[in-house]
Amino acid sequence: MKNFTITSGRALLTLSMASCAAVLSWHLWSFYMEAPWTRDARVGADIVRLAPDVSGPVAAVLVSDNSQVEKGLPLFRIGTDRFELAVREAEAQVESTKAAADLATIEFERYQLLASREAASLKERQHAESQMRQADAAHQSALVALDLAKLNLDRTTVRAPSSGKLTNFALRAGNYVTAGNAIGVLIESEAVYVAGYFEETKLPRIHIGDAVKVDIMGEPQSVRGRVAGIAAGIEDRERSEAMGSLASVAPTFSWVRLAQRIPVRIEIDSVPNTVRLIAGRTATVSVEPSNN
């Protein structure tokens, strides 16, 4: 009887442990497959590609790579010699066209006076009026050219378009820069976010505004955020389309159908002082259950 009791107890204990292991395995499997979390996440940022608005040799570089800058801070200056000459030339053109416009106005007024005394024909008066209008238009065009020359001179000092941190900025005095060609990148301070790539099977549990915990690789403390948006579409690699023709669909089918990864944008609410938010860092994202 004693042996039967011991044997029954052992069997019951083994059965209980097996049941607990099965339940725990089921919960772990359900969490892994259905819970809204992913290890496929990256720290992202909206960037501004720094490019000069005018071309020329760099006269001075005022900041260094990886430095924090404020909006409007001068970053570097382009040589101003030719732009100052352009301003002087535009000013001379303004003076010349103004003198011509004043003379044309005087001539028109004289013909107006002669016409009132019937000493000038209508044709002569109309011609004088046309000359006055053309001279005035030339003067206005010269004023615009002067404003443009002054604007180009002002643009020789390239300033930070927003507050943020410079990166990949290796400009040196003496380099020649071309208008529109980027020479560095500015990561905006308020534009850092986390992009989590969730399996499509987990999307029903993700809602706009849900609280999110972000664990960045190598950081002991977590970052807190919230779901800001879910991507409206991803590329279909099995299909291509061209306007005016039929869709081209690849004649293949994978028997193992993997869930697609959908980008979810996460806005950051709070960051511990020890955590460095560097664009491109790897992170694990867990969406907390909604209270709705």
Is 10 within a domain? no
Quote the pLDDT of residue 189: 76
The answer to whether 212 touches 265, Cβ cutoff 8 Å, is no
161 with 132, same domain? no
Quote the pLDDT of residue 109: 72
Quote the pLDDT of residue 245: 72
The answer to whether 75 touches 64, Cβ cutoff 8 Å, is no
pLDDT tens-digit series, residues 29-77? 555 555 688 899 999 988 889 999 999 999 999 999 999 999 999 999 9
Residue 290, both tokens? 């909604």
pLDDT tens-digit series, residues 11-28? 666 666 666 665 565 555
207 with 241, same domain? yes
**Of all residues in the chain, what percent carry a pLDDT higher than 90?**
42
| pLDDT range class, residue 133, cuts 50, 70, 90 | confident
pLDDT average, residue stretch 192-200: 91
- Domain of residue 95 covers 80-155
129 with 246, same domain? no
**Of all residues in the chain, what percent carry a pLDDT higher than 70?**
79
pLDDT tens-digit series, residues 208-246? 999 999 999 999 999 999 999 998 888 877 777 766 677
93 with 211, same domain? no
Is 19 within a domain? no
Indicate the number of domains in the chain: 3
Does residue 292 surpass a pLDDT of 60? Answer: no
- Cα dist from 113 to 105, 106, 108, 204, whole Å: 12, 11, 9, 85
Quote the pLDDT of residue 43: 93
| pLDDT range class, residue 80, cuts 50, 70, 90 | very high
What CATH number did the domain enclosing 60 receive? 2.40.50.100
Does residue 290 surpass a pLDDT of 70? Answer: no
pLDDT average, residue stretch 114-137: 71
